[in-house]
């Protein structure tokens, strides 16, 4: 299915947010996630289904100052 990941169109076989994070090689323990503008907690990722056209944001913490 096609989704939007961090502003870029992607094709994925992942059915849940947790599967997508693993598929894309993100470190699940150190990212924040949202689907269609709604924050998704780490504990809810396995239960968060993806649908065609979903807008997914995966954000890593940044250091600086």
CA–CA separation, 7 vs 12, rounded Å?
15
- Indicate the domain borders of the chain: 2-59
Q: Look at residue 22 and give its three-state secondary structure.
A: helix
Please give the CATH superfamily to which domain 2-59 belongs: Beta-grasp domain (3.10.20.30)
| Average pLDDT across the chain, whole number | 95
Band of pLDDT at residue 6, cut at 50, 70 and 90: very high
What is the number of residues in the chain? Answer: 65
The model's confidence at residue 63, banded by pLDDT at 50, 70 and 90, is low
pTM for the model: 0.92
């Amino acid at each position: 299915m096609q989704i939007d990941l961090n502003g870029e169109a992607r094709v994925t076989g992942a059915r849940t947010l947790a599967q997508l994070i693993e598929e894309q090689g993100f470190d699940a323990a150190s990212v924040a996630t949202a689907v269609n503008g709604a924050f998704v907690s780490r504990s809810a990722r396995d239960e968060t289904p993806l649908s065609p056209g979903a807008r997914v944001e995966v954000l890593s913490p940044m250091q600086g100052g």
